[in-house]
Amino acid sequence: MRFPNRATLPALALVVAAALAACTTPPPPRLNLPEIGFAQSGPLVFAAGSVETVNEYSSSLVQPYIEHTLAQPPARVAERWPRDRIRLDNSQNNSVRVVIKDASVIEQDIAKTPGLRGQFTTDQVARFEVSIALALEVRDARGFKLGEASAAAKRSGTLNEKATLNDRDMLIYNLIKETSTDVDRELERNIRQYLPLYVR
């Protein structure tokens, strides 16, 4: 068996390095998704002089809850709701209080198809569920609650075993966006129904 001489070793090393590089395709860059907001829904003008947002939801930071790992967790999206939608006319000495009750994202594994059949099946391997719940209170100058409206929504979706990280990011993003839209619509409807004296 003949071994390459020392003169050919550098060239051989370059060939091997090039071959290895050709075999390892870098993953595509992670998605840079736009901010989820509510400005497109238009303003809700309240007969009040101040607004505050309170986040009562506390993530457990452990599986199956994954909201703390996301670029746009539902709580951060929910905090944009009063910034985008609430306006004050200062006509009454009331305050508006927006309370985030739920802002969770759950990821659960799905069992694959067993046996030989599983070798020929593209399985759904993960299920994601987004839950968002908001309450809006109007309080008087003494802090007494004058009225309240609330809204809650859930959306879920699954991911198959051939999905990429970008597919996962897009699925979760769309679930959060759609759930937020559901809450936005329901909350406005309930505000106009239950708080007509305080919204224009």
pLDDT over 70 at 4, yes or no: no
Yes or no: say if 112 and 123 are a contact pair by the CB < 8 Å rule. yes
CA dihedral 28, 30, 35, 36 (to 10 degrees): 90
Query: What CA–CA distance (Å, rounded) separates 158 from 132?
Result: 18
- In tens, the pLDDT along 90-109 reads 999 999 999 999 999 999 99
Q: Are strands 86-88 and 50-55 parallel, antiparallel or unpaired?
A: unpaired
- In tens, the pLDDT along 155-184 reads 999 999 999 999 999 999 999 999 999 999
- In tens, the pLDDT along 35-47 reads 999 999 999 999 9
- This prediction has a pTM of 0.83
Query: What are the helix and strand counts (H, E) for the chain?
Result: 4, 6
Q: What is the pLDDT of residue 192?
A: 98
- In tens, the pLDDT along 107-144 reads 999 988 776 666 667 788 999 999 999 999 999 999 99
Task: Check the CA dihedral 177-183-99-39 and report its sign.
Answer: positive
